[in-house]
Protein backbone atom coordinates (compact mmCIF):
# COMPACT_ATOMS: atom_id res chain seq x y z
CA UNK A 1 0.00 0.00 0.00
CA UNK A 2 1.11 3.55 -0.71
CA UNK A 3 0.89 6.05 2.17
CA UNK A 4 0.01 9.71 1.74
CA UNK A 5 -0.16 12.62 4.18
CA UNK A 6 -1.86 15.51 2.42
CA UNK A 7 -2.29 18.88 4.15
CA UNK A 8 -4.64 21.54 2.85
CA UNK A 9 -5.17 25.01 4.29
CA UNK A 10 -8.10 27.32 3.69
CA UNK A 11 -8.23 30.82 5.12
CA UNK A 12 -11.93 31.59 5.33
CA UNK A 13 -13.24 35.12 5.93
CA UNK A 14 -15.80 33.84 8.45
CA UNK A 15 -15.87 32.43 11.96
CA UNK A 16 -15.87 28.71 12.80
CA UNK A 17 -19.59 28.82 13.70
CA UNK A 18 -20.34 29.96 10.13
CA UNK A 19 -18.10 27.34 8.50
CA UNK A 20 -19.10 24.39 10.72
CA UNK A 21 -22.56 23.77 9.19
CA UNK A 22 -21.14 23.57 5.66
CA UNK A 23 -18.45 21.09 6.68
CA UNK A 24 -20.77 18.90 8.73
CA UNK A 25 -23.65 18.77 6.20
CA UNK A 26 -21.77 16.18 4.16
CA UNK A 27 -24.84 15.21 2.10
CA UNK A 28 -24.82 18.78 0.73
CA UNK A 29 -21.21 18.65 -0.48
CA UNK A 30 -22.11 17.56 -4.03
CA UNK A 31 -24.21 20.74 -4.35
CA UNK A 32 -21.26 23.08 -3.79
CA UNK A 33 -18.05 21.01 -3.93
CA UNK A 34 -16.98 20.09 -7.44
CA UNK A 35 -15.42 16.63 -7.43
CA UNK A 36 -17.81 15.19 -4.83
CA UNK A 37 -20.03 13.06 -7.04
CA UNK A 38 -22.19 11.34 -4.43
CA UNK A 39 -22.74 11.11 -0.68
CA UNK A 40 -24.89 8.53 1.06
CA UNK A 41 -25.44 8.56 4.83
CA UNK A 42 -25.15 4.98 6.09
CA UNK A 43 -25.49 5.56 9.84
CA UNK A 44 -26.91 8.47 11.81
CA UNK A 45 -24.53 8.68 14.78
CA UNK A 46 -25.29 10.73 17.88
CA UNK A 47 -26.54 14.33 18.10
CA UNK A 48 -23.00 15.72 17.67
CA UNK A 49 -22.41 13.57 14.58
CA UNK A 50 -20.11 11.14 16.38
CA UNK A 51 -20.45 7.69 14.81
CA UNK A 52 -22.04 9.11 11.66
CA UNK A 53 -21.05 7.07 8.62
CA UNK A 54 -21.02 8.09 4.95
CA UNK A 55 -20.17 6.56 1.61
CA UNK A 56 -18.69 9.19 -0.73
CA UNK A 57 -17.59 9.09 -4.34
CA UNK A 58 -14.98 11.56 -5.61
CA UNK A 59 -13.44 12.45 -8.95
CA UNK A 60 -10.70 14.92 -9.73
CA UNK A 61 -8.99 15.73 -13.01
CA UNK A 62 -7.72 12.19 -13.46
CA UNK A 63 -10.00 9.67 -15.20
CA UNK A 64 -10.95 7.56 -12.17
CA UNK A 65 -13.32 7.77 -9.23
CA UNK A 66 -12.72 6.78 -5.63
CA UNK A 67 -15.44 5.52 -3.32
CA UNK A 68 -14.90 4.97 0.37
CA UNK A 69 -16.75 5.07 3.67
CA UNK A 70 -15.93 7.48 6.45
CA UNK A 71 -17.05 7.26 10.08
CA UNK A 72 -16.85 10.31 12.33
CA UNK A 73 -14.71 9.31 15.32
CA UNK A 74 -14.13 12.66 17.04
CA UNK A 75 -16.11 15.91 17.21
CA UNK A 76 -15.22 19.09 19.10
CA UNK A 77 -17.75 21.65 17.90
CA UNK A 78 -16.87 24.02 16.18
CA UNK A 79 -13.13 23.37 15.89
CA UNK A 80 -12.45 19.70 15.09
CA UNK A 81 -13.94 16.82 13.11
CA UNK A 82 -12.06 13.56 12.61
CA UNK A 83 -13.07 10.47 10.70
CA UNK A 84 -11.74 7.08 9.72
CA UNK A 85 -11.91 6.07 6.06
CA UNK A 86 -12.31 2.50 4.77
CA UNK A 87 -12.57 1.20 1.23
CA UNK A 88 -10.56 2.36 -1.77
CA UNK A 89 -8.67 4.60 0.66
CA UNK A 90 -7.95 3.81 4.30
CA UNK A 91 -6.85 6.23 6.98
CA UNK A 92 -7.79 9.38 8.86
CA UNK A 93 -9.18 12.74 7.79
CA UNK A 94 -9.06 15.64 10.25
CA UNK A 95 -10.62 19.10 9.92
CA UNK A 96 -9.24 21.71 12.35
CA UNK A 97 -10.72 25.20 12.51
CA UNK A 98 -8.75 27.92 14.30
CA UNK A 99 -10.15 31.43 14.71
CA UNK A 100 -7.77 34.08 13.36
CA UNK A 101 -9.20 37.56 13.95
CA UNK A 102 -12.23 37.94 11.67
CA UNK A 103 -11.22 34.84 9.70
CA UNK A 104 -10.68 31.13 10.37
CA UNK A 105 -7.70 29.01 9.46
CA UNK A 106 -9.02 25.64 8.28
CA UNK A 107 -6.48 22.81 8.15
CA UNK A 108 -7.45 19.50 6.59
CA UNK A 109 -5.05 16.57 7.00
CA UNK A 110 -5.74 13.44 4.96
CA UNK A 111 -3.42 10.65 6.14
CA UNK A 112 -4.37 7.66 4.03
CA UNK A 113 -3.10 4.66 2.17
CA UNK A 114 -4.38 3.42 -1.14
CA UNK A 115 -5.92 -0.05 -1.26
CA UNK A 116 -6.32 -0.39 -5.03
CA UNK A 117 -3.60 -2.61 -6.58
CA UNK A 118 -3.28 -0.36 -9.65
CA UNK A 119 -2.76 2.74 -7.48
CA UNK A 120 -0.20 0.95 -5.32
CA UNK A 121 1.66 -0.26 -8.42
CA UNK A 122 1.75 3.25 -9.92
CA UNK A 123 2.57 5.07 -6.67
CA UNK A 124 6.36 5.20 -7.09
CA UNK A 125 5.96 7.15 -10.35
CA UNK A 126 2.49 8.65 -10.05
CA UNK A 127 2.66 9.96 -6.45
CA UNK A 128 3.08 13.61 -7.59
CA UNK A 129 0.14 13.23 -9.99
CA UNK A 130 -2.08 11.68 -7.29
CA UNK A 131 -1.11 14.60 -5.00
CA UNK A 132 -1.89 17.13 -7.72
CA UNK A 133 -5.31 15.50 -8.24
CA UNK A 134 -6.06 15.67 -4.50
CA UNK A 135 -4.98 19.32 -4.39
CA UNK A 136 -7.29 20.12 -7.32
CA UNK A 137 -10.26 18.61 -5.47
CA UNK A 138 -9.40 20.57 -2.33
CA UNK A 139 -9.06 23.79 -4.35
CA UNK A 140 -12.54 23.10 -5.77
CA UNK A 141 -13.74 22.69 -2.17
CA UNK A 142 -12.31 26.11 -1.25
CA UNK A 143 -13.96 27.69 -4.29
CA UNK A 144 -17.28 26.03 -3.51
CA UNK A 145 -17.15 27.01 0.15
CA UNK A 146 -16.45 30.58 -0.88
CA UNK A 147 -19.59 30.57 -3.06
CA UNK A 148 -21.64 28.72 -0.42
CA UNK A 149 -20.80 31.19 2.35
CA UNK A 150 -20.37 34.22 0.08
CA UNK A 151 -16.97 35.03 1.64
CA UNK A 152 -13.39 34.94 0.36
CA UNK A 153 -11.50 31.67 0.86
CA UNK A 154 -7.78 31.40 0.18
CA UNK A 155 -6.30 28.00 -0.63
CA UNK A 156 -2.85 26.55 0.08
CA UNK A 157 -1.31 23.10 0.34
CA UNK A 158 1.30 21.97 2.81
CA UNK A 159 4.47 20.05 2.21
CA UNK A 160 4.71 16.53 3.56
CA UNK A 161 7.34 13.87 3.43
CA UNK A 162 4.93 11.27 2.04
How far is the CA of 30 from the CAs of 23, 104, 160, in angstroms? 12, 23, 28
pTM attached to this predicted model? 0.93
User: How confident is the model over 82-91, as pLDDT tens digits?
Assistant: 999 999 999 9
For residue 2, what pLDDT is reported? 74
Q: What is the DSSP letter of 116?
A: -
pLDDT tens sequence across 111-162: 999 999 988 898 889 899 999 999 999 999 999 999 999 999 999 987 554 5
Model pLDDT for residues 100-112, shown as the tens digit of each residue: 999 999 999 999 9
Amino acid sequence: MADYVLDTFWQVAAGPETIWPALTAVEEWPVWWRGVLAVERLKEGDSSGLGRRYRTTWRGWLPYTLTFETETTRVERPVLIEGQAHGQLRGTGTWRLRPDGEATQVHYRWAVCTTQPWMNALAPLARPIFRWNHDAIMRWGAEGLSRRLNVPVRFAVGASGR
